Amino acid sequence: MLVEVGKIVEGRVSGITSFGAFVELSNGQTGLVHISEVADEYVKDIKSHLKENQTVKVKIISVDKNGKISLSIKRASDPKKSVSKSTKPEEVDWGSRNSANLTFEERLAKFMKDSDERLHDLKKNFESKRGGGGYRKFVQ
């Protein structure tokens, strides 16, 4: 079997580490599935997702000049994951009822003013909870 980038193959988990899992492919070569390529959600403990000798479907992500093979389980299960993230930013609705017709500079100024007011309120609230600072002497 030729190791080809983009190909989806089956392999057997041959070892598990804190940073990923080693998967032996059918041709005898071994590749690494980094912990970030195991599942869509955050993986704290890889052993909760994989077991040794488990058969898994993996996608070959890359093969470097030294022959190291990078694999992905999450990209093998969802072909859409193999496409790199879009460079287009998310659509954000910056308009609100009372600032719909403002220019960018006006919106920025409004944001800065609101932010300064919130910061001032937080500082005032924090200082009042501290009890005014210094030690108090108790008179008997």
Mind giving me the DSSP string for 30-59? EEEEEGGGS-SS--S-GGGT--TT-EEEEE
Lowest mean pLDDT among 29-33, 42-46, 68-72, 124-128: 124-128
Closest by Cα among 74, 77, 85 to 40: 74
Rounded CA separation 110/127 (Å): 26
pLDDT at position 68: 92
Provide the percentage of residues in the chain whose pLDDT is more than 70.
74
Q: What mean pLDDT comes out for the span 120-139?
A: 67
Q: Is the pLDDT of residue 96 over 60?
A: no
Q: What mean pLDDT comes out for the span 83-101?
A: 54
Provide the percentage of residues in the chain whose pLDDT is more than 90.
39
The pLDDT mean for the chain works out to 81
Q: Which residue has the higher pLDDT, 127 or 137?
A: 127
Domains and CATH numbers, the chain: 8-78 (2.40.50.140)
pLDDT at position 12: 96
**Alpha-carbon torsion (27, 30, 32, 38), positive or negative:** positive
Q: What mean pLDDT comes out for the span 110-117?
A: 87
Lowest mean pLDDT among 6-10, 19-23, 117-121, 135-139: 135-139
Q: What mean pLDDT comes out for the span 75-85?
A: 62
